[in-house]
Structure formats: structure tokens, C-alpha cells
Structure 1
């Protein structure tokens, strides 16, 4: 289930908002400049489906976003057996890449077509409170985070997701890290999923 949890930057134990209502998620994120939508993502993908197969299954969605100026498109897909040491090692390395606060020179635009992951967005709310907005995204969720937004992404310790990524500039995915350890003070993806039951 998609969910938005908003916590003050200075108090991760406090919750300003917690909702699973898609309209409320879209409205709250929209108020801070982030687009959140729910699209149809019901294509059956083979276990070994690669980038071309995923993009072909969602060709209409890919074309629609490309027409908005996002000329570079790729797919990130991670899933495997949590008992497979090699998969878990590769997953840990992939997770570590974006688990610290960073920003991009391009909008971060993602369409989740399998599984789930969490974006942690450090933004100032309309009421002036600086907060971390945790968008737990799942299959069918589309999110567009404006360039230069401070954030991090957590796919969990045993990731299982596929997302189509859209870029206006070819190396727009490269992160500029802040060096702030803020991510270490907030609940991880795994902790949030466990708490949701």
C-alpha cells in the first residue's frame, strides 16, 4: 500500500502526517512541489525480463513521459532470493549508493512497475516546518521529485522492485551528496514496512 509519512527534521519520533489515501498523498506532496500519481501497472513480467521487455510492456507510459522532455529512459530492477549470498551482497551495494542524503541536477522521475521502495524528501512545508516526507511507493506509483531536492532512497535490505526512470539529462541520476547524516536518524524502509504490519 502506498503511504506518506511526514516527520519533522528535528524530531523523527514525531509524525505530522500519516496517510495511505492516494488523493491526500498527491495533495500533500503537491504542496511541496512533488508530483505523485497512481497509474495502471498490471503487465506480467517474466522473472528474467530485462530493460527492453519492461519498457515494451509500458510503451505508452514511456512515450507520454518522453514527450514531456525526458529523452533518456532506463529501468532499474532488483529482485532475488534473500537466501542467495551473492544477491544480498549486490543488493547491499545498490542500496548503499543512494541511502545518504543527496540531490540531483535533474528531476527524479520514477514509475514503479513492480515491488516497492521509499523516497525520503527533505522539504519545507507550506507552514514553514522543515520535514522529511517519506513516500512509500509501490507498483503503479509515479513520482516526480524536482531537481535539487534533498532526499535519499531506501529499497530495503532485500529489495524487490522495478522502476522505469526518466531523465532530461543523460547523467541526471548522479547524486551530489551533502555529507549530512540525517538519513541515519530516520526509520528505514524495512522498519516502516514492519510497523505498517
Structure 2
């Protein structure tokens, strides 16, 4: 189940607000400049859909975001609990970092925990099937797929080269929750 927890950045054990309604999550995240919305497939997907099937099922929303935000590149990424390099991939995203472009993810299946550090607040956003999150360019954040990752996600990029991280050097990510799946 998707949820949002908002903390003061110095109090990782005491959320100031916990939100479980997706509509209320969208409102709270919008206040911080974060796009959060839900998408529905326009056609059923097979049990193990190809990238083409996934992109076709969500083409209307993908095209809308490309028009609105100018995204140039779209792909589908997946991670399963039996992936031999899952621990390496998990570790890659756990430290606070920024990107020079938006980080846009739509969860076709599974889940992931995006944590954003904005103006003294920490926003933990557990995204699940049907959730889109867009972390604006230059927003400090980290991502946890958990020790047993399971997700299929659509990614949209402004930069045809894709995802480039600039790590902040802060240890804040280690003080907040991890996704335990």
C-alpha cells in the first residue's frame, strides 16, 4: 500500500505526518513541488510483459508527460528478488544524491521507497503499482528497492544519456528508514 511520511530532517523516528490516501499524498507532495499521480493501463498486460507491451499499455500518459515536460527518452526497467546483482544495484541508490534532470518513475508492478530531502523536511514516499513520482531536477533524494526487490517501472528522461547522479556526501540517508521487503 502506498504511503507518505513527512519528517523533520533531524527526527527520523518521529514522522510529523503519515498519509495513506493516494489523493491526499498527491496534495501533500504537490506542496513540495513533487508530481505524484496514478495511471491505469489502457489494455491488459501479460504476466511477464515486454517493454513494448508496457509502453503501449501506458502510451497515453507517457505521451502526455512528454508533451508537458519535454521528456525525450522512455524505457522500462525491472528488478526481481532472484537477480544476482540486486545488492549492488540497491547500494547504488541508497546515498543522498541529485540529478540535473527530473527523475520520473511509474510503477507498473511492485514497489520502491523514494525519500526526498527538501528544505529541512524528509518525505518518504512508498510507491506501489499504479504510482508515478517525478522528483524535480536538483532535489536531494535517495531510493531503496529493498533487499528482495520486485518492480517493473517506466522511466522518462530529458537527457538521452539517462540517469546521472551527483552525490551530496551527506550521511542523512543512513538515518532514515529502509525498505524491508
TM-score by length of 1: 0.85
Distance of aligned partners of 1:43 and 1:101 in 2 relative to their CA distance in 1, 3 Å threshold:
farther
- Contact 2:40/2:58, CA 8 A, preserved across alignment: no
1-structure distance, mates of 2:44, 2:166:
34
The answer as to 2:114 corresponding to 1:119 is: yes
- Contact 1:105/1:172, CA 8 A, preserved across alignment: no
Give the aligned partner of residue 20 of structure 2. Answer: 20
- Contact 1:104/1:172, CA 8 A, preserved across alignment: no
Give the aligned partner of residue 3 of structure 2. Answer: 3
Give the aligned partner of residue 158 of structure 1. Answer: 148
Q: Unaligned 5+ residue runs, structure 2?
A: none
Q: Deviations over 1:18-56 (max 9, x none)?
A: 110112211111111001111214743333x33223212
2-structure distance, mates of 1:181, 1:73:
31
Q: Deviations over 1:97-148 (max 9, x none)?
A: 1111000000111111101101000012xxxxx1110010001001111100
Q: Write the mapping of 1:71-86 to structure 2, written as runs, cut at 5 A.
A: 71-81=72-82
- Contact 1:45/1:54, CA 8 A, preserved across alignment: no
Give the aligned partner of residue 89 of structure 2. Answer: 94
Give the aligned partner of residue 44 of structure 1. Answer: 45
- Give the count of matched residue pairs: 179
Give the superposition deviation at 1:172.
4.5
Tell which deviates more after alignment, 89-98 or 33-42. 33-42
Q: 1:133 pairs with 123, 126, 129, which one?
A: 123
Q: Unaligned 5+ residue runs, structure 1?
A: 82-86, 125-129
Determine helix, strand or coil for the equivalent of 1:44: coil
- Contact 2:45/2:53, CA 8 A, preserved across alignment: no
The answer as to 2:132 corresponding to 1:142 is: yes
- Please tell me the root mean square deviation across aligned C-alpha atoms, in Å: 1.6
- Contact 1:112/1:140, CA 8 A, preserved across alignment: yes
TM-score by length of 2: 0.92
